Amino acid sequence: MPKKIIPSSGDKSKFVIHTIIFLIANVALWLYWYYVQGAKDTWVYPWGIWITATWGLSLIGHWSAVYTNYEDAGVKEYLRQKNN
User: How many domains, the chain?
Assistant: 1
1 within domain boundaries: no
Span 53-74, average pLDDT: 92
Which residues span the domain enclosing 70?
Answer: 9-83
3 within domain boundaries: no
43 within domain boundaries: yes
29 within domain boundaries: yes
Span 53-81, average pLDDT: 91
2 within domain boundaries: no
pLDDT of residue 84: 81
Query: Could you tell me the pLDDT band of residue 73, with boundaries at 50, 70 and 90?
Result: confident
* Secondary structure of the chain in HEC code, one letter for each residue: CCCECCCCHHHHHHHHHHHHHHHHHHHHHHHHHHHHCCCCCCCCCCCHHHHHHHHHHHHHHHHHHHHCCECCHHHHHHHHHHHC
44 within domain boundaries: yes
Query: Could you tell me the pLDDT band of residue 28, with boundaries at 50, 70 and 90?
Result: very high
19 within domain boundaries: yes
13 within domain boundaries: yes
